[in-house]
């Protein structure tokens, strides 16, 4: 079993005192890719925000890199190597690719810079271009490159595929999986492309109405398609005890 780098236990979080996720258990190990799946409004983004402290936990705990971080400030978490690429990609349309890389890599050494740009050679050719003029796929590459320059131990990516052609998603997801393996990064992906996500994941958790309704090895979930579809579309028939195996 890989070392667990990120763990949520009994995590409940939401907005204005109303939980959007309830009693969630989740873990991601070193070099592992875990997908967080579920229909619109299931609580996927809220989970990521709660894991990094941007939405405060109402109950439960979050542990990152062996330390309890439940009520830590988000920037301290980022400094420890827990990075979130948000669904709006967290990039600035008026700045160039070079500006982003420069801002991000202040503390990155040159070896890391070269390694990251090697993974996304297209970015090197686009350095002078304003981000607003990049394609969706190029913007996503940049957002991930910026996160990687900080040499994260935990990387969470929210809806990487938003607005991207499936062909681009098909190329980028394996690149993320390879990164996780090679660098031992714990990766938590929120994805709408269920099959593509499962194809590159070790494990997955399906959320519905803020609860984990199904969890297991990605291959098992792919093989048990009916169960996966029910978890997506028919949350009512799922209770916590119907979870395929331990969520963590
Ligand atoms: P999607 O795939 O549509 O992004 P999601 O699974 O990421 O959905 P969340 O965005 O986490 O779901 O939303 C979970 C619930 O929390 C929804 O009912 C949503 O309306 C609510 N919610 C999300 N953001 C806020 C907010 N800022 N204030 C109040 N409620 C919110």
List the pLDDT tens digit at each of the 248 positions of the chain: 679 999 999 999 999 999 999 999 999 999 999 999 999 999 999 999 999 999 999 999 999 998 898 888 878 888 889 999 987 777 888 888 888 887 776 555 677 777 788 888 788 888 889 999 998 888 888 888 888 888 899 999 998 887 778 888 888 888 889 989 999 999 999 988 899 999 999 999 999 999 999 999 999 999 988 888 888 887 444 444 444 444 44
Secondary structure letter of residue 86 according to DSSP = -
pLDDT at residue 127, rounded to an integer? 86
Q: How far is CA 143 from CA 45, 121, 221, in A?
A: 17, 14, 29
**Side-chain half-sphere CA neighbours of 71 within 13 A:** 3
Residue 189 Cα to ligand 1 midpoint, Å, equals 16
pLDDT at residue 2, rounded to an integer? 73
CB atoms within 10 A of CB 228: 22
Residue with tokens 């005192």: 17
How far is it, in rounded angstroms, from Cα 210 to Cα 223?
24
Residue of the CA atom closest to atom 31 of ligand 1: 15
CB of 43 closer than 6 A to ligand 1? yes
Residue 144 Cα to ligand 1 midpoint, Å, equals 23
How far is it, in rounded angstroms, from Cα 37 to Cα 75?
26
- Which domains does the chain show, CATH number per domain? 4-81+152-239 (3.40.50.300), 92-151 (no CATH)
Residue 115 Cα to ligand 1 midpoint, Å, equals 35
Nearest to 229 by CA among 202, 211, 246, 206: 206
pLDDT at residue 107, rounded to an integer? 59
How far is it, in rounded angstroms, from Cα 221 to Cα 227?
8
Cβ proximity of 204 and 215 under 8 Å: yes
Please report the sign of the dihedral spanned by the C-alpha atoms of residue 123, residue 28, residue 197, residue 56.
Answer: negative
Residue 60 Cα to ligand 1 midpoint, Å, equals 19
Radius of gyration of the chain, Cα coordinates, nearest whole angstrom: 18
CB of 15 closer than 6 A to ligand 1? yes
**Side-chain half-sphere CA neighbours of 173 within 13 A:** 30
CB of 38 closer than 6 A to ligand 1? yes
How far is it, in rounded angstroms, from Cα 28 to Cα 22?
18
Q: What is the number of the ligand 1 atom nearest to the C-alpha of 43? A: 11
Secondary structure letter of residue 130 according to DSSP = B
């Amino acid at each position: 079993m890989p070392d667990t780098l990120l763990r949520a236990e009994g995590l409940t979080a939401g907005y204005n005192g109303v939980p959007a996720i309830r009693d969630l258990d989740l873990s991601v190990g070193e070099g592992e890719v875990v997908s967080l799946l579920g229909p619109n409004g299931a609580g996927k983004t809220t989970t990521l925000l709660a894991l990094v402290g941007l939405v405060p936990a109402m109950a439960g705990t979050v542990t990152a890199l062996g330390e309890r971080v439940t009520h830590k400030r988000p920037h301290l978490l980022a400094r420890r190597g827990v990075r979130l690429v948000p669904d709006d990609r967290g990039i600035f349309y008026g700045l160039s690719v070079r500006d982003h890389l420069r801002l991000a890599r202040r503390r990155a050494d040159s070896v890391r810079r070269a390694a990251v740009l090697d993974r996304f050679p297209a970015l090197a050719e686009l350095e002078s271009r304003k981000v607003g003029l990049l394609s969706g796929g190029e913007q996503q590459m940049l957002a991930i490159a910026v996160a990687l320059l900080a040499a994260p131990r935990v990387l969470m990516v929210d809806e990487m595929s938003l607005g991207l052609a499936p062909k681009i998603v098909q190329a980028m997801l394996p690149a993320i999986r390879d990164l996780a393996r090679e660098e031992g990064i714990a990766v938590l992906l929120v994805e709408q492309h269920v099959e593509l996500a499962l194809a590159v994941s070790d494990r997955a958790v399906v959320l519905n109405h803020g609860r984990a309704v199904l969890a297991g090895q990605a291959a098992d979930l792919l093989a048990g398609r009916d169960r996966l579809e029910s978890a997506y579309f028919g949350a009512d028939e799922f209770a916590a005890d119907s979870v395929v195996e331990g969520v963590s």
